[in-house]
Amino acid sequence: FHIKTENLFSINKGDSISCAGVCLTVINVAKDVFAVQVSQETFKATNLNTWAVGKKINLEQAMRLSDRIDGHLVQGHVDGTVKILAINQHLNSHEIKLSYPRELTKFIAKKGSVVLDGVSLTVNSTIYQSLTVNIIPYTWKNTTFQYSKIGDFLNLEVDMIARYLNQLMQN
């Protein structure tokens, strides 16, 4: 993939960049474009197979260990995709309802954290295999959520601590 950005904020070969929530390694940089390679596993677990030329995606550089932690820890290790079921505006914010695969139920909790297309969010509610999140106006305006439509698939990363706790409990 070749990804064009208006702000090539000191991107170098070998850097990890979150591209719509997917941690990808930069293999080349030229002017306002950087290139990444994608494995078969990444294609299976994410929505990258739906990307087309001109698609807008959220980008974020990896955190340095000396950086301030804001939000929750995000790895860019996508656990699956979620489907947008509804988008409703409440005053200035947008509530998005999404369905998720049953196998991820144990990782999703009310007031817990999820990452959707690289954006860290709090789960407002969960029922059966659906969850809702609220997007404040700033986030709506500065991310790709503003382009989202019912039926779209977003990349989902579950809370890292929940993932590891589950692994510990199984073993």
Residue 74 has pLDDT above 90, yes or no: no
pLDDT band at 8 (very low <50, low <70, confident <90, very high): low
Quote the pLDDT of residue 70.
72
CA angle 161, 21, 78 (to 5 degrees): 55
Residue 149 has pLDDT above 80, yes or no: yes
pLDDT band at 90 (very low <50, low <70, confident <90, very high): confident
Instruction: With residue 44 as reference, give the H or E element that holds it.
Output: helix 40-45
**Cut 0.85: pTM above it:** yes
Please list, in sequence order, all residues whose beta carbon lies within 8 angstroms of the beta carbon of residue 135, skipping any fewer than 6 positions away.
Answer: 93, 94, 95, 96, 121, 143, 145
